[in-house]
Structures are given as C-alpha cells and as structure tokens.
Amino acid sequence: MAPHTRCLADATIHVPRHLFIPAQAWAKPAGTGAGHWIDREADPATWWRAVCSDTVVFTQLDDGRTELTPENAAKTYAPTCSASSPLLVNAFLRHLAPRSGDRVLEVGTGTGWTAGLLSYLTGGPEQVVSVDIDAGLSAAAAANLRSAGLAPRLVVGEGEAGVPGLAPFDRTHVTCGVRQIPYTWVEQTRPGGVIVMPYAPVMRLLRLKVRGDGTAVGRFHEECAFMVLRGQRSRPAGGDVDADTEPRVRKLKRDPATLLHPPPGLQVLFDTVVGDTPWGTEDGIITPLGDGLSRATVRGDQVTQTGPRDLWDTAERIHDAWLGLGRPGLERMGVTVTPEEQFVWLDDPAVPLSYTRN
C-alpha cells in the first residue's frame, strides 16, 4: 500500500490499541458516569472488552503521586493520564488530516497510542515528535511504542513550549485541554498547517489553520473532555469562592430554566465569559461556577451572588445578547490567535465578540 493511501482504519489495525493499555487500569465506557477496574490476568474478557470498545482507560492518578488501585480510582483522585475514547481519537485525527511526509508535533504523549497512529499516518516514526512533561509517562509510552515496532521522537518537557529546535511542523496535535493557547504552537506550525486541540473554556475540539501573517483561525467541532494541560490547571471550581464580599440577594427576572440547557452557541458564550454553563441539582438549586472566586446560586425565585463578579447577572446579559444576535450557533463562531491576543469571534474572524464581563 502506498503511504499516501493510508487511512485511520488501516492505522488502528497496524497500531492496535491493546499494546498501549496496561494490564491493570480503570475503565470508563464513553457516555457513562460509572467506571470499573480491569485486570488482564484476573479477568481477560473484561479487559479486552474495555480495550476494544469506546472506553476511556485511566492509567495514572494525581500525576503519579497516588497509586492506581481499584480503591483509589473509585474515589475522587483526579485521573491525569488516560487512553482516550477511540471515537474521539478518531475525530481529532480526522480534523488534523495528517498526510504522508508531514512532520507532526504532538503535545501530550500519554500512553503513546496517538503518537503511534501518527507515525503510521505520516509514513514513518521519524516524522513525529511528541512532548510530555511527565518523564515516567514518556518512558512508559516509549516501551509501548517499541512493542508496536515504532520509535517516534519523545521529548520530556513543557508542552506549552513545544519543541522549537525541531520546528517547523505541518501539523500540531494536542491531547490535553487548553485554556490559553500558547502562541509558540502557532509559531512552530508552518503557514497552511493545522493545529487541533481540546479547547478547555468550552471543551470542544478546536481546529485552527495557521496563516501566512502569523495568526491562526479556526472553528469549534465535536464536544470533548480532556485533562487540562498541567501548567494551566485552575483551582477547583467554587472551592475558593471569595468569602470577603457580602452576598448579594435579589429576585429573579426570568425563569432560570431558560439558561439550564443552552444550545451550543449560547454554551460557548457562557463557558467563555462566565466560566461554566449554569447547572441544576436534584433539589432545584442552580449554580453557574466561574473562576473559583465568584458564585451565583438560585433557590426558588431568588439568586444569591458572592465574590467579585455577579455571575447570574452576566449570564442573563449573555442570554439577552445571544437572542439579540439571532441565536447564533457554532457555525458562526470560532477562535483567532495572534501574537498579541486570542479571542472568540462571531461571523468575522478579525473582530472579537463583544460582551460585558462585569
């Protein structure tokens, strides 16, 4: 088969996922909240079922500080490395569209599976450079890749810095959530090249194309959930709400249910400006969480707002503005990155979407 005809279906056959899954791990089938332990020796059928299905497999907890055990994985310890959902991996690679001969930078080596798939799709492991901040994960990925007969270049370092000494790249593939897009990735991707990443403010796949003027412009695609780049992790939402400000209580001006299930376009605005989409609990309480310093909580016909920002007021203004703009959807929205700034836009990639943040 000629290299230029290689496709994702071929890649998953030649670089099988099972070579990148440890004998023991925590599996979470896509679309479910429940997880379970898998052990290749003790229960091979369950292990293979997880490996060969659309299941996320967690391989590290708490940056490796907490041992991966059934008890720890079932608790609230944060997973910090996983073999992502195969369907989501496929979606990212489809949008990246690597071709034979392309040079690819991957940010976030993880288990090494996508580095292996990229090696096949580009025609050779020498075309792929994968960087990860965790030396232990990088070493494990190297062993996994060797078992597949592959040896892309693995670098231990800060993903935000990229790998300037090996640039430029034709494609940049990011496997961790990104709150603020490092301009270094744009600099290290040639004009006409593509950057694909999980854009963490809205947790959607973002595909950017680099332009000759040093900017990158792109649009939102599939929903996704990825662990955030280590250098960009925020405090737990709501965990550090500012207690020094007096709570501000007022009557609601509208039915809060209108904000609970926003269409994708409105959700992008909520997530970008407020920090999260308002969400409800079983007891009827509705809360939008922001940057960890502010909170708005709705009970009955009243809203209580604390911290420096009046989040519910902001959410209502965003909703009104969205209605006034004609209820725009994702097809009218995107992101632009320049050396000086990055912003969400509506219709025109050169003009930041205006909104009130107060």
Q: Which residues are catalytic?
A: 84
Which residues, listed in sequence order, are joined to residue 223 by a DSSP beta bridge?
A: 204
Q: How far apart are CA 242 and CA 254, in angstroms?
A: 26
**Nearest of 167, 170, 231 to residue 200 by alpha carbon:** 231
Q: How far apart are CA 84 and CA 27, in angstroms?
A: 10
**Nearest of 50, 82, 64, 53 to residue 175 by alpha carbon:** 82
| Residues belonging to the chain | 358
Q: How far apart are CA 310 and CA 292, in angstroms?
A: 13
Query: Helices (DSSP H) in the chain: which residue ranges?
Result: 8-14, 44-51, 70-74, 86-96, 113-122, 135-147, 183-187, 264-269, 311-324
Tokens of 83: 């073999």
Tokens of 305: 């707002």
Contact 114, 93 (CB under 8 A): yes
Contact 112, 88 (CB under 8 A): no
In the chain, the DSSP E strands lie at 24-29, 36-39, 55-61, 79-83, 104-107, 128-132, 153-156, 169-174, 189-199, 204-210, 216-223, 248-251, 279-280, 286-287, 295-299, 302-306, 333-337, 342-346
R_g (Cα) of the chain, nearest Å: 22
Q: How far apart are CA 25 and CA 37, in angstroms?
A: 6
Contact 148, 116 (CB under 8 A): yes
CA end-to-end span of the chain: 58
